[in-house]
Amino acid sequence: MRNSAKRGTGTILTAALVSLALLLAGCEAGGPAPSPPGSSATPGPSEPTLSAPANAAASVHFTTQGDIGVKKTSQHVLDTIADLKPQFNLALGDFTYKAGIEQQFCDMVKGKLGENFPYEVLTGNHESDGSDGDIANIVKCLPNKLPGIQGEYGTQWYVDVPETNPLVRFVMVSPGIDFQNQQHLDFSKGSDRWNWTTNAIDGATAAKIPWTVVGMHAPCLSVGKYDCKVGQDFATMLLEKKVDLVLTGHDHIYQRTHQLALGTACPALVPNELSPNCITDSDSSMAKGAGTVFVTVGVGGESLYDVNNNDSEAGYFTTWSGGNRDPAFGTLDVTATADQLSARLVPAKGYTFTDAFTIARY
């Protein structure tokens, strides 16, 4: 620190020490960060707040799971989420499993995570047709709390997080599940909903948003009980667009694929058979742009299905867990920076199975 005035050595030394102490106090690691605009200065431990990082050094931290229910295990998963303190949660459908108790479900969520926590919802098949609940009621008592959302919240929407200088675009869609009168929403190739989805993904690329995450209730590939309900064309399109991460529920298991991509020897993703040429990376440290990772997190608390170790699609997967193999309820915990997306399965109380992977820019 320079001082043009001539002073005694003791005076200069004292001023320098005071300035250094003040500088260290302001930069102390672990010191309190300023609260985001509009947030409480002292949020409670069970009421995480949505931060708004505004530069490439910031991060986005979220949790995600589906197939939740209103059981003790459901509450244990919510406790796990609360302990992780994410900025928000993506709930991938199938909430109450019973009509008329939507408010009970919402009260359970708010009781564990806080009244103002962004618990963002996407319909599953149990509430999409009203038979075991109604997505309209869930949307009413768990409304969107993320700024800048586009589309129809609960059914087909996307949002950039943070809203300014975003790190992740989340595209949430509902192909392959029944709505009223057993009718699917039309996500077939070239349809309005197909075009809406591809435009949302392409828009993220054009805006140079570092990561694109697609969420939908039903998976395509699975070692569980379901087939490719979203359709081969839709799943192939996600590979063609080089979506970084696809999140699903529906099958009450946990499963993660290798990184998959299209190419000359893999022109399409064909369900019910294995094409090794579609696999671009088979370990847990992957490179951005080399393919897409599909993760099913249907372990939110309702129940667990068995997995088939000999399934024809098993070769696509790195790991899996179900009722008959390493059973665990839990949540996927994801953090994204400009340079890396890292995720881990965090088991709920009483369970031990876990998984972890990263996708990084090299």
> CB of 261 within 8 A of CB of 269?
no
Confidence of residue 50 (pLDDT cuts 50, 70, 90): very low
Output the CA–CA distances (angstroms, integers) from residue 279 to 7, 228, 313, 316, in the order listed.
71, 18, 12, 7
State the CATH number of the domain containing residue 206.
Answer: 3.60.21.10
Q: Is residue 34 part of a domain?
A: no
232-240 and 192-206 helices, crossing angle to 10°: 10
Tokens of 3: 């001082």
Say if residues 91 and 97 touch (Cβ distance below 8 Å).
Answer: no
11-26 per-position pLDDT tens digit: 433 444 334 343 334 4
Whether residue 138 is contained in a domain is answered as yes
Question: Is the pLDDT score of 101 beyond 70?
Answer: yes
* Residue 23 within any structural domain of the chain: no
Q: What angle do CA 287, 217, 137 make, to 5 degrees?
A: 135
Asked if the structure places residue 41 within a domain, the reply is: no
Full residue range of the structural domain in which residue 79 is found = 55-360
Query: Is residue 118 very low, low, confident or very high in pLDDT (cuts 50, 70, 90)?
Result: very high
Per mean pLDDT, which of 22-36, 181-195, 320-334 is the most reliable?
320-334
In a domain, 173, yes or no: yes
Strands 88-91 and 60-65 turn out to be parallel
Residue 9 domain-assigned? no
DSSP class per residue in 195-245:
HHHHHHHHHHHHTT-SEEEEEESS-SS-SSS---TT-HHHHHHHHHTT-SE
pLDDT band at 180 (very low <50, low <70, confident <90, very high): confident
DSSP 196-207: HHHHHHHHHHHT
The mean of the pLDDT values for the chain is 88
Rg (CA), the chain: 23
Query: Total structural domains in the chain?
Result: 1
Is residue 9 predicted with pLDDT exceeding 50?
A: no
User: Is residue 18 in a domain?
Assistant: no
Q: What is the DSSP string of 65-113?
A: E----SSHHHHHHHHHHHHH--SEEEE-S---SSTT-HHHHHHHHHHHH
150 domain-assigned: yes
Instruction: With cut-offs at 50, 70 and 90, classify the pLDDT of residue 181.
Output: confident
Predicted TM-score of the model (pTM):
0.85
What is the pLDDT, as a whole number, of residue 7?
Answer: 41
- Residue 217 near residue 246 (C-beta atoms within 8 A): no
Contact 94, 217 (CB under 8 A): yes
